């Protein structure tokens, strides 16, 4: 290998190390003071890199925050990819929803940033799109199995999202309250079981194998 490629490899390693160090420092700052206490000046003091260097790697502050959220979402996607795929799409949806919900509870600042309105010309977060697609797949399977109507899919998706958003956001907003440790899992179970009950009533039959088991039955 000539010296030129080796030099380029070293430069790329240096860039990767600098970018990683900046992101790690930014993650520490947002963990300590949330987004409200975050600034590029405080990041400079923490990571040791100058503001121009930070802007060189991330463009601007929104670009840096997007990279920070994307970095955490990549971990979420890896966790979601490890969720076992069940023959019952409801069980798969339950497991994926709990995986996402726990990520949000563990990363309230990143979740807040993820759910903020984005500029019209802003690029979508790749891992955010992947995780959303993974959560949508069980809905398509439920339609294929005839367990929900295609016309109601978007309503059910929004219903689950609204429930999940509250379950993630409220504990962060009202950290002074004592939230039940089973709140996320129980709430997700109840809303999914409610969908199946409604579907079974419409069809005039209840299929025991197609429901989310009650927490006392596990």
- The domain boundary, picked from 18, 41, 59, lies at 59
Asked if 169 and 111 touch (Cβ cutoff 8 Å), the reply is yes
Are 55 and 85 in a shared domain? no
Band the pLDDT of 154: cuts 50, 70, 90.
very high
Are 54 and 97 in a shared domain? no
Question: Which pLDDT value is given to residue 200?
Answer: 53
Helix then strand count (H, E) for the chain reads 9, 0
Based on the structure, what is the number of domains in the chain? 2
Q: Is 37 exposed, middle or buried (0-12, 13-18, 19+ CB in 10 A)?
A: exposed
Are 113 and 132 in a shared domain? yes
pLDDT of 208 above 80:
no
57-72 pLDDT, tens per residue? Answer: 999 988 998 999 999 9
Are 92 and 146 in a shared domain? yes
Which residues neighbour 55 within 8 Å (Cβ) at sequence distance 6 or greater?
40
In whole numbers, what is the pLDDT of the chain averaged over residues? 86
CATH of the domain at 8: 1.10.10.60
Structural domain that includes position 176: 66-217
Question: Which pLDDT value is given to residue 201?
Answer: 53
Band the pLDDT of 218: cuts 50, 70, 90.
very low
Are 122 and 153 in a shared domain? yes
């Amino acid at each position: 290998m000539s010296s030129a490629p080796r030099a380029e490899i070293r430069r790329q390693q240096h860039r990767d190390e600098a970018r990683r160090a900046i992101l790690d420092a930014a993650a520490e700052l947002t963990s300590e003071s949330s987004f409200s206490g975050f600034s590029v000046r405080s990041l400079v003091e923490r990571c040791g890199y100058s503001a121009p260097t930070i802007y060189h790697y991330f463009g601007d502050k929104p670009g840096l925050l997007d990279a920070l959220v994307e970095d955490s979402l990549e971990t979420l996607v890896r966790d979601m990819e490890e969720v076992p795929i069940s023959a019952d799409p409801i069980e798969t949806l339950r497991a994926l929803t709990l995986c996402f919900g726990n990520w949000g509870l563990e990363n309230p600042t990143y979740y807040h940033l993820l759910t903020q309105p984005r500029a019209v010309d802003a690029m979508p977060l790749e891992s955010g799109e992947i995780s959303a697609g993974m959560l949508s797949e069980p809905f398509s399977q439920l339609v294929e199995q005839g367990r929900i109507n295609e016309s109601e899919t978007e309503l059910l998706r929004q219903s689950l999202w609204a429930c999940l958003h509250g379950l993630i956001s409220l504990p962060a907003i009202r950290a002074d309250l004592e939230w039940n440790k089973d709140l996320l899992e129980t709430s997700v179970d109840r809303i999914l079981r409610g969908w199946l009950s409604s579907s079974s009533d419409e069809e005039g039959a209840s299929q025991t194998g197609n429901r989310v088991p009650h927490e006392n039955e596990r």
